[in-house]
Structure 1
């Protein structure tokens, strides 16, 4: 009888030990092996920004320190917004992670352009029938905000825009962008196409870890390779740098950015800057104005970066 009890106790001990080891293994997998793709932002308790959010034109703003993901300032950061062309940040990072070869040649068809001109979508300047390298389409999507570049990438990678949108929504879910849903790859207005500036900060923080994305995002211009329609190539200019018009910040430099605008979204901006020795991102949305007015999305970013106290 004693021997039987000992065997039972031994069995329980082995089971408990095995269970404990399993828990430890899962924890190691979760916190070490799984890539650091999700960002848990923390709120900085000590104010390091001298400007009040109420002085900004944009109703939705967030400032993040990239090093430790500290939220240094926020204004309605979890309120639903329409992202307009800031959508293309997701389009491009998903495309980069899906493309096997950046030099792959992609043919833009008539269907690529269907509905884009009528919707007054921003275009990179490619033409139907043009054969373009994948890398040039990536630049075309981010720098001049070319809708045809986005559709061309989506069709090539997923067979259709809606097929690619599924990949975008899956990536949003993977990154815990819980208040985000995409309906298209371009950012053209749709009531079911929405996000928050906090979710966009999660996205940009993630995307900037990718060397190809960072290279494109921080480029002021890019000359494409010669194509069958443009033998001399096309020079793209980053829409944010064009609007900056040589303005910069006092104790640093704006490194890159992506503008966005629709009537419903207002003036939007996602930007990256280095102030002192640290990198920061500012996401803003909803500022009044349009392409012909003062660019309050730009002036807000300058004001926020200049207010950072090192």
Structure 2
């Protein structure tokens, strides 16, 4: 009996010694216990800090508008629309149900006002009006949404409308939604809209309209400045949120929470986890010039290669960086015409041979083809210098 008793004591002791500790990994598993799918990423590097069923295809509801806003911001960048341009509301756009700013057929608002309605009030009517302005129809805009998703390498997404209203064959995943948000936040000026808790439309009229952000975390969680909520009976309560603190920006996505309280609580847990455990080391800001490249037969001889987004390195808090290597690789034989924003190279960041970050470098300006007279003068100038 003494031997059996001693053996039991040893087994109990061994179980205590080798029982897994409640470390950070264990805590991470609890971050979104009440959601169907979730993910947490650091924006600059795209590093996944937490994931739960992140590739499950689910209805995204109004989080769809993250892609809608991305295409709006890209159209603004290209100059095909302008913030102060007025957009007319069609009968179809005005007929949208769900969240809306109650646009009337023929009513005009500026792009800025429409974007405000989409970002703050999740306005379906404004989203369709902007889709029609940019692509001619909602259908054509949806085609572009799906094309853009493919360009971003997203495999769990298919859009059927610009609003997220329930329809068969309209789905995404928390991973894909985080990647769309990452791309949208290259246009950080969008947070001027998504980060507002309240605003007004039709001011100085008898139809003044109060906008209140559907994302309450912009008011109650320091650093949250976007991005988009979503709810339908099928999708339940969804949220893609972003917050910035001490130079680090993170994105948290939740699909299928049972209530707004659960949705906000789980996103809050993920944000708290990210900011308590990790930090970023900024290397370059968006638009940083990293190289100059020759342009063949262009109106300008050289263009600059610039970053399209902030470039950082992520570490656990307290960890130090050692041997960081920055490698710039540029395209050879660039020939005019070149458009502003065209990819012309890559920047890769490595530490001891391990890739930490990689980003595309683009042209900082447009360059037209040089005219024959300009090329003739260059040839004469080269001939004169050689003599």
TM-score range, shorter chain: 0.7 to 0.9
Residues 55 and 155 of structure 1: CA distance in aligned 2, closer, same or farther (over 3 Å): closer
Query: 2:82 aligns to what SS in structure 1?
Result: coil
Query: Is the contact made by 1:60 and 1:77 (CA closer than 8 Å) also made in structure 2?
Result: yes
Quote how far apart the aligned CAs of 1:54 are. Answer: 6.5
Gaps of 5+ in 1: 1-45
Task: Identify which of 31, 37, 41 aligns with 1:64.
Answer: 41
Give, in whole Å, the separation in 1 of the partners of 2:192 and 2:234.
30
Matched, 1:258 2:228: yes
Which runs of 4 or more aligned residues in structure 1 lie more than 6 Å from their structure 2 counterparts after TM superposition?
none
Quote how far apart the aligned CAs of 1:165 are. Answer: 0.5
Query: 2:255 aligns to what SS in structure 1?
Result: strand
Task: Identify which of 255, 267, 277 aligns with 1:301.
Answer: 267
Task: Identify which of 209, 220, 223 aligns with 1:234.
Answer: 209
Give the TM-score of the pair, scaled to structure 1. Answer: 0.74
Give the TM-score of the pair, scaled to structure 2. Answer: 0.60
Quote the residue 2:220 is aligned against.
Answer: 247
Give, in whole Å, the separation in 1 of the partners of 2:106 and 2:35.
40
Query: Is the contact made by 1:59 and 1:286 (CA closer than 8 Å) also made in structure 2?
Result: yes
Larger proportion of strand = 2
Task: Identify which of 44, 54, 57 aligns with 1:77.
Answer: 54
Q: Please say which structure displays the higher CA radius of gyration.
A: 2
Query: 1:166 aligns to what SS in structure 2?
Result: helix
Give, in whole Å, the separation in 2 of the partners of 1:295 and 1:272.
17
| Offset from partner CA, 1:121-158 (integer Å, 9 cap, x none) | 11123333321101111111121100000111111111
| Offset from partner CA, 1:47-102 (integer Å, 9 cap, x none) | 57844246531120000011321111000001111110000011111122224212
Larger proportion of helix = 1
Quote the residue 2:244 is aligned against.
Answer: 274
Residues 231 and 211 of structure 1: CA distance in aligned 2, closer, same or farther (over 3 Å): farther
Aligned length: 250
Task: Identify which of 70, 83, 86 aligns with 2:63.
Answer: 86
**Larger RCO (CA under 8 A, 6+ residues apart):** 1
Query: 1:216 aligns to what SS in structure 2?
Result: helix
